[in-house]
Amino acid sequence: MEKYRLYFNENQSKYLQLAVHIKELIDENQVNDGEKLPSIRELAEFLMVNKVTVINAYKKLHQEGYAQQKMGSGTFAKKKEVGRSFRKDYSDTFKKLTSGQLKNVIDFTGETTSSNFFPVRDLKTVLNDVLDRDGAEALIYQHVLGYEKLRKTINNKFWEGRTDIEDILIVSGAQQGIDIASKALINVNDNVIIEKPTYGGALSVFKWRRANIFEVPLESDGVNLIELEKILKKNKVKCFYLMSYFQNPTGISYSYEKKKEILRLAKEYDFYIIEDDYLSELVYDENIKYTTFKNIDINDRVIYIKSFSKIFLPGIRIGYLITPKRFREAFQNSKVNTDISTSSLMQRALEMYIDKDYWIGHIDFLNKEYKIRYNYMKCLLEEKLKEFVSFSYPGGGLHFFLKINEKLDVSSLQLFYILKERNILITPGIMFFKNSKEGERYFRIGFSQTNCDKIEEGINSIYEILKERENKL
């Protein structure tokens, strides 16, 4: 019974503290899978608490998949299946949070810019101008490729007119772009390469397509080229999915030299690059220069995907995809089979927003605001957490990726659940690895939805938890 001993903090519900304590015992194998937990009366007497405290703690363990009740026999510990069960828990956490509750949460999980920063007045102006100009036509479906004027504006403003607008496809965000690319290119048992770790949404798409997935570890300036070529020599690879700037989750950006070499390998080994250009507008380090794979692709080997949702407004699901000419028809057919058309009104509004240079002003504003948060979080990580975690400096984007030092007996999953009880949310690393277990010591924290006060409060809590673990050594 001694392992169940717990000294309660009077500032938090006792049943929550007890549930967290027992979860830790199960995660750390101090309580084995299937082991019978103490009876309600026995544990209540041992801890000198009301029986209701134990009943509520056991109920919470059951709800979170850490215990099962057997009629007439008692409550038994249940070891959670790390990957799949946690992903459901993680998803359910956000589904259950109302907008009111979110205000009281320190949300380090955000992957998009805060809606608080969006200039609603500018959007109202643009929407009114579009409706005045186009009337009811603004509300009807467009051609499957997307609103032609938007595709022209994207070509002129972002690509200096170098792209054939017939190769530009308007999509409902980057996730749909990845899905369309996979449907157009990948068949069952085709070989696909991804970064290790990688964006969980892309990993899910390739798994759903039943592709053979190969991981290549990331270095400070992109994937390990030696490991990449080893895979290419042994396997006929169809495509390589990567994020060129501020990769999710690591924050790594590719060097120009690695971009050139990967493009050379794509031609030599006959594979295609799916480039997810993620958050490249948010640059805080002047040494980082913007050159996409697509910009230097002379052999038409790059499928380029860009989402406006991450930095424009998450609720407006718009992005675009540029296809290699040889796959134009296949991608168009894939888009038709996915959906008919992306919102006509919002396509027209976005076109005007970009054309009138509201876009440039908004990006400048975001860079100034998020640079402050980036530097504040960076300083706090150095001051508070450097002895407990390792991390690098992405120089842009919206997050940091941390690795818990091996000396500390705590996983990022345990950290997630402890912080969740304090209304602080992080993203454990298992979300980004093909093999969930490899991500157990990593976690991502972002600053897109948190101001400096909340950043400090959240990092102080992480410090307290990790410091407590160190003191137990």
Q: What is the pLDDT of residues 21-60, one digit of tens each?
A: 898 888 777 888 889 999 999 999 999 999 999 999 998 8
Can you tell me the distance from the alpha carbon of 464 to that of 422, in angstroms, rounded to the nearest whole number?
Answer: 12
Domain boundaries, the chain: 2-77, 82-110+361-471, 140-356
- Helices 200-208, 174-185: inter-axial angle, 10-degree rounding: 30
CATH of domain 140-356: 3.40.640.10
The domain made up of 2-77 has a fold known as: Arc Repressor Mutant, subunit A (1.10.10)
Average pLDDT, the chain: 90
What is the value of pTM for the model shown? 0.81
Please write the tens of the pLDDT for every residue from 379-404: 999 999 999 999 999 999 999 999 99
Tokens 């007119």 belong to 161
More confident residue, 267 or 346: 267
Is residue 313 within 8 Å of 116, Cβ to Cβ? no
Enumerate the β-bridge partners of residue 68. 76
Q: ∠15-110-414 over CA atoms, to 5°?
A: 35
H-run or E-run covering 219: strand 212-219
**Whether the domain at 82-110+361-471 and the domain at 140-356 fall into the same CATH topology:** no
* Class of 82-110+361-471 in CATH: alpha beta
CA nearest to 213, candidates 238, 230, 248 = 238
Is residue 272 within 8 Å of 301, Cβ to Cβ? yes
Binned at pLDDT 50, 70 and 90, residue 119 comes out as confident
Q: Average pLDDT, stretch 435-446?
A: 92
DSSP label at residue 394: -
Q: 102 pLDDT exceeds 90?
A: no
Please write the tens of the pLDDT for every residue from 129-162: 999 999 988 887 667 789 999 999 999 999 999 9
